Amino acid sequence: MKIAVLGAGAWGTALALSFAHRHTVSLWSWRAKHVAAMNAARENVRYLPGFPFPETIAVSADFAATVAAAELALIATPMAGLRDAAARLASARPELPFLWVCKGLEAGSGLLPHQVVAAVHAQARCGALSGPSFAAEVARSLPTAVTLASKDSGFAERTALALNSSRLRVYANDDLIGVEVGGAVKNVIAIATGICDGLGLGLNARAALMTRGLAEITRFGVALGARAETFMGLSGLGDLILTCTGDLSRNRQLGLALASGQPLERIQRELGHVAEGVHTAHEVARRAAAIGVEMPITATVCDVLDGRLSPADAVERLMNRDPKHE
């Protein structure tokens, strides 16, 4: 299969490297200088150094040329770039099926990724690729399992089969809302978990926070139309465990830094990569309030990010809530 990967950050590059074992891959970046650097070094020194590109990966800054012969596109931009990339596909190759790998809610609108896509490319054959996966481990061909979700179950099954390999196992799912909510809100819980670990509160506290975080994710997702069982799968519990406990997690790193007293702006600047949980927390809180879903962990994370609560005071607030049935 000919695959166009649109976005040359760490995750897009890792997927390009993984798929290049069995497919012909074109990797696109809008930054011409970045493309020139990747072609010169034959690796992505800026975002994923140490992984040379095979001959089966072509790198380009020409969007139209990248998608011209593709049989499948993969949008690997941050959430902020999804709308533009989907609109460009609608213009250049409206019949081309595609997936997105970004996780979050769109800043300002609070829309889930599939809702953003529907606004600019209503007839697309499309879906989300999500699950517990660090870019560096996928690039190293370490065993990974992810979920490919689409409202079109036939498309999900066919595409999952085409992309599945001995190192990247792809499961099909038709609960697109559930897969997207799990992938988005786990980043918020990972910030909270990073704060918890940064304050040295122990493994008991981490386990409690992750468990109650999963309950919060599930309440929100079900209210939006997801199936509760989806959150016990790879894109729910699996992604939550990885992002909350793995030190490669940007959102966990951000929480750890907040616990040490560093200002948010400095943390984001020094990360060098997008921590989607920062924007997602506020959008999830707003959307949850609008539909009457209680999300105390998310609300507390928002208050820490906005400077209304210190990390230590945030813990006190959560621990001093009135006892309830689990």
Contact 73, 98 (CB under 8 A): yes
- The more confident residue out of 220 and 325 is 220
* Token reading at 272: 């060098």
Residue 276 has pLDDT above 90, yes or no: no
- The domain limits of the chain are 2-174, 184-319
Q: Do the two domains 2-174 and 184-319 of this chain adopt the same fold?
A: no
What is the model's pLDDT at position 321?
81
For 127-153, give one letter per residue: b (16+ CB within 10 A) or e. Answer: bbbbbbbbbebbbeeeebbbbbbbeee
What is the model's pLDDT at position 287?
97
Mean predicted confidence (pLDDT) in 100-123? 96
Closest CA to 283 of 307, 305, 263, 255: 305
Contact 123, 145 (CB under 8 A): no
What is the model's pLDDT at position 261?
95
Mean predicted confidence (pLDDT) in 23-41? 97
What is the model's pLDDT at position 283?
97
Residue 25 has pLDDT above 80, yes or no: yes
Please, which pLDDT band fits residue 275 given cuts at 50, 70 and 90? Answer: confident
Write out the catalytic residue numbers: 186
The three-state (H, E, C) secondary structure of 108-165, written as one string: CCCCCHHHHHHHHCCCCCEEEEECCCCHHHHHCCCCEEEEEECCCHHHHHHHHHHHCC
Query: For the ranges 1-15, 199-213, 268-282, which has the lowest average pLDDT?
Result: 268-282
Residue 325 has pLDDT above 90, yes or no: no
Mean pLDDT score of the chain:
96
Contact 298, 284 (CB under 8 A): yes
Please give the Cα distance from 295 to 4 (Å, whole number). Answer: 38
Q: How many other CB atoms are found less than 10 A from the CB of residue 322? A: 4
Domain at 2-174, CATH from 3.30.2270.10, 3.90.1200.10, 3.40.50.20, 3.40.50.720: 3.40.50.720
Considering the entire predicted model, what is its pTM? Answer: 0.95
What CATH number belongs to 184-319? 1.10.1040.10
Residue 272 has pLDDT above 90, yes or no: no
